[in-house]
Amino acid sequence: MDLVDVAVAAAGQAAALIRSTRRPTLAEWQEKSTHDFVTELDRAAEALISEALTRAVPGSVVVGEELSPTVAREGEVVWIVDPLDGTTNYIHGYPQYAVSIGAIVGGLLSVGVVHDVDRNAVYRAGTGQGAWLGDRRISVSPVTDPKHALVGTGFPFKRLDNFERYLRQFTAVTRSTSGIRRAGAAALDLADVAAGRFDAFWELSLAPWDIAAGVVLVREAGGVVTTIEGSDEVLGAASIVAGNPAIHPWLRRLVEAA
């Protein structure tokens, strides 16, 4: 829990920086790849987080989307950071973006903090310690019938070669559930699963920093997270399925078959 507290503090500093910084103009947007934007604020927030984490935990390693996009498991503590998950939302003023900090401890994904910047809400979890929103413990939903389920998703906007496969999955899920939502920030989508707002979530093309913190939140809230193929090792894969214990296996089988 000491590491959780360190991550909460670092995420809070980054969130404060984001809230206090003028939103970039269109001329200041930078496109890293197709449909994938970055701003100077992303880089500044990641540098701030990296400094705060390594100062608090000397010898720890920081892996981040903008500074060092290679996940390593060497070292006792490896931080996995997305300084601004939902950059496209942020630059458009759409209030769904977050700071996400996960940590691998002793080779195991064990710490997750997601700071919802616009709502100033902090989700946190540590292995064996449960998942929390502020001072309130959270848990996944009790829904067991897919026809009652609300499912979150993300479009494979960086990997358009996956789009036909995704559309087959989308069609299958639409036919079988009460609804699908896509808000554009995977860290917050997973927080919504942990808090019981979504009954499940799936996406095809995600990086480790998109999901590391959220995976810990969901698992500590009583949920299940795997790849579409069913592996628990999600950081090295692009696909993810998360949900409560009843809806997760149903959704995983459905999207794998589709």
Task: Render 181-242 in DSSP notation, one character per residue.
Answer: E--S-HHHHHHHHHTTSSSEEEESS--HHHHHHHHHHHHHTT-EEE-TT--S--TTSS-EEE
pLDDT bracket for residue 175 (50, 70, 90): very high
Average pLDDT, the chain: 92
Mean pLDDT for 139-152 is: 98
Can you read off the two tokens belonging to residue 161? Answer: 């070669």
Q: If you classify domain 2-138 with CATH, what class do you get?
A: alpha beta
Which among 159, 137, 247 has a CA at the least distance from the CA of 203?
159
| CA separation for the pair 99, 77 (Å, rounded) | 19
Mean pLDDT for 105-118 is: 97
| CA separation for the pair 195, 184 (Å, rounded) | 17
Question: What percentage of residues in the chain have a pLDDT greater than 90?
Answer: 82
Q: Partners of 28 in the beta sheet?
A: none
Domain residue ranges in the chain = 2-138, 146-257
Question: What percentage of residues in the chain have a pLDDT greater than 70?
Answer: 93
Neighbour tally for 253: CB within 10 Å: 13
Please report the pLDDT score of residue 156 as a whole number: 84
Which among 199, 190, 60 has a CA at the least distance from the CA of 114?
190
**Which of 74 and 253 is assigned the larger pLDDT?**
253
| CA separation for the pair 193, 221 (Å, rounded) | 9
User: Is a pLDDT exceeding 70 seen at residue 205?
Assistant: yes
Please report the pLDDT score of residue 33 as a whole number: 54
Cα dist from 181 to 70, 199, 211, whole Å: 30, 11, 17
Domain 146-257, CATH 3.40.50.1370 — does that match?
no
User: By mean pLDDT, which of 34-43, 62-71, 72-81, 88-97 is the weakest?
Assistant: 62-71
Please report the pLDDT score of residue 71 as a whole number: 54
Can you point out the beta strands (E) in 24-120?
30-33, 36-38, 61-64, 77-85, 98-105, 108-116
Which runs of consecutive H residues, i.e. helices, occur in 25-113?
40-56, 87-92
Question: Rounded to 5, what percent of the chain is helix, strand, coil?
Answer: 40, 25, 35
Please report the pLDDT score of residue 75 as a whole number: 73
Please report the pLDDT score of residue 90 as a whole number: 94
User: Is a pLDDT exceeding 60 seen at residue 58?
Assistant: yes
Please report the pLDDT score of residue 234 as a whole number: 95
Please report the pLDDT score of residue 151 as a whole number: 98
State pLDDT tens for residues 150-168.
999 999 877 677 889 999 9
Query: Whole-prediction pTM value?
Result: 0.93
User: Is a pLDDT exceeding 80 seen at residue 17?
Assistant: yes
